[in-house]
Amino acid sequence: MAEQVALVIGGLAGGLLLLLLLIWVSCCLWKRLCAMFTYEELPGTTAASSTQGDKLCPPYAARTQTSRPPGVPFVVPPSFQDRDWVPLNSGEWAQVPRDPCPAPELLPHTSSSNLGMVGTINPELYKFLEDTSETDFPEGCLGRLWFSLEYQQEAERLLVGLIKARRLQGPSETCSPLVKLHLLPDERHFLQSKTKHKTSNPQFDEHFIFQVSSKSITQRVLRFSVYHVDRQRKHQLLGQVFFPLKNETLAGDCQRLIWRDLEAESLEPPSEFGDLQFCLGYNDCLRRLTVVVLRAKGLQLQEDTSFVMAVSNGGPGAQGGPHPPSQTSHRPEARPRPLLPADSLHCPAGVCVKVSLMNHNKFVKCKKTSAVLGSANPVYSETFSFKADPAELDTASLSLTVLQGAEGEKSHVLGRVVVGSYMYARGKQLEHWNEMFSKPKELVKRWHALCRTTEP
């Protein structure tokens, strides 16, 4: 009996010792795991100030390489900023910034448990710029039109959104506007908005679709014509907007919001060889002469360039065949004279404008617009800049030549206009040149009649 009791007591004692051993092993493993996944907090107070640089030399010299304290599972990287040395719990030294705590006004408005977050979002950096398109109107503005564009490449559709108009200058206090949309050079077909009654600030919010191929889209010009509808249902033009469809405008299948000021229709009849509209501006500080070629109208296009060159050389007649030997071919009294060097007269198929800067009647630099196909009223809206010193402007001039090109043939000159000082220009051309200097911060826009110089 006594032996059985002794065995039971020995078994219980052995079980307790084994249980204590397991508990001790578990505690050691738990402490090691906790040490691996937790960081040791650095003291918040510095041990020395910046004036105690001599005292900081021994710990820095003792640590020639960046080391890690045994209890801290990260390394404090070196820095060139001014820092202080602080002791770690394990006896090692580390560097911390001089002022590790930001100013109270820079901390986010959170509880004390979140004070470890440093830095805040500056709301001033995320404010949108104020839209002044509805408040800043130039003097003499006829109104402003907002619209959106999107071109779908796969479906070959041009989506036009007519959004709104502001500050329309109607013939009376009450204005009833509507908008017609043309995709030039097609003048016959158009789309039309609804009429908004008795308002100078209409809100349209209408959408239109033009079916146009991707090959010809860059040759088209979108025209918005804003009309006032009176009581007799008659339409009175208030202004127009011309918007060339360029590659950069249609890049990507995304909608673009655009606004433009209305332009008044030119009431003057077109001249004999057509008219050209462009802007001039000169920046004295940058020594930059700017030319913006806007559009042309009433151009006398040639149906067949080879035919025109043949007639001017006394070749085949108007019906396309050679004259009989008994007849004498009619030679015009005057023929167009090339206004540019022969190697620069070539223009791609279509109508383009060559802009040439000249000094003492010598060509300095030439630039040209893109070619527009099949339109006697092409729209360009292209900007060119030339370097020109103020001292050179007294002997400088600008020549704008309208060329019609044909594939494989030399371009035909439709007309030109020269603006410059009194040495080279008179009348409206001279006035435009002088007005450019009187308004240095503006682009002066004018129409000019084209002419053809002839030689005997």
Residues 294, 289: Cα–Cα separation, whole Å = 16
Residues 196 and 290 in one domain: no
DSSP letter for 349, please. B
Q: Looking at 47-56, 204-213, 243-252, 271-280, which range is the least confident one?
A: 47-56
CA distance 178 to 151: 24
For residue 302, pLDDT over 70 is answered with yes
Q: What would the pLDDT profile of 367-390 be if each residue is shown by its tens digit? A: 999 888 878 888 888 999 999 888
Contact at 8 Å (CB) between 235 and 229? yes
Q: Domain residues for 187?
A: 140-262
The residues, any chain, with a CB within 8 Å of residue 243's CB and separated by 6 or more, are 149, 221, 222, 223, 224, 258, 260, 381
Claim to verify: residue 220 and residue 293 sit in the same structural domain: no
Beta bridge partners of residue 281, listed in sequence order: 290
Average pLDDT (408-419) is: 85
Digit-coded pLDDT (tens) for 59-96: 444 444 445 555 555 555 554 445 555 555 544 555 55
Task: Say whether both 181 and 216 belong to one domain.
Answer: yes
pLDDT band for position 47 (cuts 50, 70, 90): very low
For residue 210, pLDDT beyond 90:
yes
Q: Give the least confident one: 223-237, 261-275, 325-339.
A: 325-339
Residue-wise pLDDT for 222-240, tens only, equals 999 999 998 888 888 999 9
Domain co-membership, 177 together with 213: yes
Residues 289 and 414 in one domain: yes
The pLDDT mean for the chain works out to 75
pLDDT attached to residue 98: 52
Q: Which residues of 379-417 are buried (b: 16+ CB within 10 A; e: fewer)?
A: bbebebebebeeeebeebbbbbbbbbbbeeebbbbbbbb
Residue 168 domain flag: yes
pLDDT recorded at residue 163: 94
Alpha-carbon distance of 18 to 200, in angstroms, equals 96
- Statement to judge: residues 152 and 252 lie in one domain: yes
Positive or negative CA dihedral for 406, 407, 408, 410? Answer: positive
Sign for the CA dihedral angle at 162, 164, 166, 170 comes to positive
* Cis before 338? omega within 30: no
Residue 454 CA to residue 9 CA, distance in Å, equals 134
SS3 33: helix
Residue that terminates a domain, selected from 241, 262, 283: 262
Count how many domains the chain has: 2
d(CA 227, CA 326): 59
Q: Say yes or no: 234 and 286 in one domain.
A: no
Q: Is residue 60 part of a domain?
A: no
**Backbone phi, psi, residue 91, to 5°:** 95, -10
Is the model's pLDDT at 220 over the cut of 70? yes
Q: Are residues 245 and 280 in the same domain?
A: no
Do 416 and 295 fall into the same domain? yes
Tell whether the model's pLDDT for residue 427 goes beyond 50. yes
Please tell me whether residues 177 and 289 are part of one structural domain: no
Q: In terms of pTM, does the model score above 0.85?
A: no
Q: Encode pLDDT of 153-168 as tens digits.
A: 888 899 999 999 998 9
Looking at the domain assignment, is residue 94 inside a domain? Answer: no
Q: What is the CATH number of the domain that holds 414?
A: 2.60.40.150
